A and B are shown apart, each in its own frame.
Chain A
């Protein structure tokens, strides 16, 4: 059947695999967004900038302090997460009682400021970040050459996605979090510090973006615009998956990566619009998203 479409199966498998790799980025980023939206009701437009900051922190750690990729994979998300916590404490926390629109405007403005500052300092051509030695080279799979690093990206994203899902859906801490979204006053009455929990959740969501940024650094050049190029797609992923749905964000992220991969084979010109076409269709047929429930 594949050959009927003029594409040999080998090429198709290669493209599907690549789609999965891109899907890994979509999943990790949309997971953070869904988490923040689900628990804080904030549409976090700074997510792209925070992803970019993750990559830059890794770059700066390497070039200023000589700290390599592996420690950066933990340090950079923590640092970016801390910046997120400061933002939440000083600004975002004042907006929870207002309409979504205020949070959206604030985070969007912050994203522009952060990107502008990095652009001023580092230009737009991007800075090189080497692939860690252990993951250099690749495997010949017969139908394609798979760089080791890209394989690692998929594994790392799957691990982090699963861990997050498990934390929210299957642990006591997660049940507190979910309860606090439903009825914060009641949960607080049980003696749980809800504001602190919300701050930490935002920090964690932002740290996920930073983590994706470090993962991306060796593949794409470390570039102030890398976040804004991606964020719109990731928002579409979240909308398709259903705002606030953790599992939806993960599955849709990988799924849309695959769809995009296929589009790149059959009609490359449309590869950057296909996700939005799907979004439009989903919004018409199922306005709450594939995995969302109406609020």
Chain B
């Protein structure tokens, strides 16, 4: 505590003494910290691929900004909020990290949001889902980039209800993310005149879902909503087909599904599944060009929306530092909100006052094995969901967005 106070004082003195018209970069380096699950359940959907995406953004930017070096570091938060919090504290207090990016696992993301807010550093979140990041936990230095539970609810949730899925049963991962997703989808279902027949909250992570699936089956609901992610979703879908649940007429709604999940499930099991995504590699020339470059450095695996989002967020961040002439957290984020967001990832995009990066989302359906031309040719885009429809109105829970 004493040390950090001394450090702060030092930084303040330094900032005052160099406070001329010159461009300023703290500690003569812009340090980007990629914080995610490097080895566990969520490692394939973000993990080392996100670190690669951040590095690609830095390389494409030229490796320097305002004449100073840009450096990428990464760490494994093991999906544990306490581990994530201590890494971020160390990064900011002792290792000159200016921005924390990626941060899957909503419980960890909320902890990181609080620390970065307090210390005036930037948090560019690509992979956590909870819409609370731009709601009651919003921060003037935090931006939520790729998707959110609201967007998933307005995408997949609405689509399923519109196709007649009026009664729902939720299989929810028992932590911040699962709860937020369940809450946001339930809201959409009820607004559309549907009903929620029950919920079962399973431990995270979990392997055997048969017991929970049977409870869902017994509820008689038309739709089983999977408010979980990664390996949990993969196992839920596999076991639902093993226990004859989908064959018996109940429909599964994968509320958060990544490209890497489909790759693991295989099209035979996953075909026909509808899901909402913020990005698909095979949409046009631009997305294909970037994605192929990415895959060449990533064992041939195409990017997930999380990884593409990291690239887009870091690229925009660096652009804002250049325009703002400083790497001060608040000033850079203000500049990011001011500048137009446009790249292969973000379409019709803008950053709202609450920190939400609003962009077009896509409702897609997983192809049949006969329709697919090979690995990673998995989605057909059913509909483009305009950003404003996907993300809804500005959150009323966010204090800094008002006034």
Show the binding face of A for B, using Cβ within 8 Å.
Answer: 8, 10-11, 14-15, 18-19, 21-22, 116, 119, 123-128, 131, 138, 144-145, 147, 149-150, 219-221, 223, 225-226, 229-230, 261, 264-265, 268-269, 271-273
Contact = CB atoms under 8 A, between A and B. Distances in A.
A125 B263 contact: yes
Contacts of B234: 125-126, 221
Given A126-B231, A128-B269, A147-B244, A21 B210 contact: yes
Interface stretch (B19-27, B134-142, B212-220, B322-330): B212-220
The interface size bin for chain B is: 35 or more
A18 B238 contact: no
B210 A125 contact: no
B40 A124 contact: yes
Interface stretch (B112-120, B156-164, B198-206, B365-373): B198-206
A9 B47 CA distance: 44
Nearest to B39: A119
Contacts, number: 103
A221 B203 contact: no
Contact of A268 (B45, B200, B243): B200
A125 B261 contact: yes
Contacts of B248: 145
Contacts of B40: 124, 225
B43 interface: yes
B41 A127 contact: no
A269 B269 contact: no
Interface in B143-186: 174
B264 A127 contact: yes
B354 interface: no
B260 A125 contact: yes
Interface in B245-304: 245, 248, 260-261, 263-266, 269, 301
A19 B208 CA distance: 10
Nearest to B49: A123
A149 B265 CA distance: 19
A265 B269 contact: no
B222 interface: no
22 contacts: A14-B214, A18-B210, A119-B43, A123-B44, A124-B39, A124-B44, A127-B264, A138-B243, A147-B242, A219-B239, A219-B242, A220-B235, A221-B235, A221-B238, A221-B264, A225-B41, A225-B231, A261-B211, A265-B215, A268-B201, A269-B174, A269-B201
A18 B265 contact: no
A22 B203 contact: no
Contacts of B265: 128
B230 interface: yes
Contacts of A116: 39
B207 A230 contact: yes
A277 to B, nearest CB: 14
